[in-house]
Amino acid sequence: MENPDYKYGHALLSDFHLVDSQGKVGVIMGSRSDWPYMQPCTDTLEQLKIPFEFGVVSAHRTPERMTDYARSAHERGLHVIIACAGGSAHLPGMVASETTLPTLAVAPKKSDEHAVGSMIAMPSGKPLAYMGGGSGPGKNAGAVNAALMAASILALSDEKLLERLQSYHNDLRESVPYTCF
């Protein structure tokens, strides 16, 4: 998939821990191979004009990056974190364990039972909201819903965003036909 030309999205840089985030939402994924499943999330954030950053943070291959990211997120100005991982999928749960920011988990594919299992079985005291997974590249209900849930959280203190979110839901309702064919 191509690098999208986002107005509200900013790519995560290697010195992220030294600078304030330009986003309210941090979208991270365990591998570049997750990107086709997560672009519906970032596209939805862009559509709603929500500033976000996005990049790769792996729990297993870059554990220090993951810890730095989660521990600095609040201070850097993020309000919500969306984390996607497949396979063993420790990223969402470990990030949630290192921050008090609301953390939303997305599986690349909902059929990835190992990933889903790791996201829905957090121990008491460490909340993580599992949003769902997708059925294929570019088709991820969980990714879209994670963006919308982040929007709902941010809209509690942003009336303009609330209007855009209501408009999104109105458009969705209007797009559903009555006929089956």
Interface residues with ligand RP5 (CB under 6 A) are 29-31, 33-34, 58, 60, 85-87, 108
Q: Closest distance between ligand RP5 and the C-beta of residue 125, in Å? A: 25
Q: Closest distance between ligand RP5 and the C-beta of residue 61, in Å? A: 7
Q: Which is nearer to ligand RP5, 50 or 103 (CB)?
A: 103
Q: Closest distance between ligand RP5 and the C-beta of residue 155, in Å? A: 29
Q: Which is nearer to ligand RP5, 94 or 151 (CB)?
A: 94
Concatenating the DSSP letter of every residue in the chain gives -PPP--SSEEEPPTTGGGS--S-SEEEEES-GGGHHHHHHHHHHHHHTT--EEEEE--TTT-HHHHHHHHHHTTTTT--EEEEE--TT--HHHHHHHT-SS-EEEEEEETT-HHHHHHHS-PPTT---EEEEEEEETTEEHHHHHHHHHHHHHHHTT-HHHHHHHHHHHHHHHHH--SS--
Q: Which is nearer to ligand RP5, 29 or 80 (CB)?
A: 29
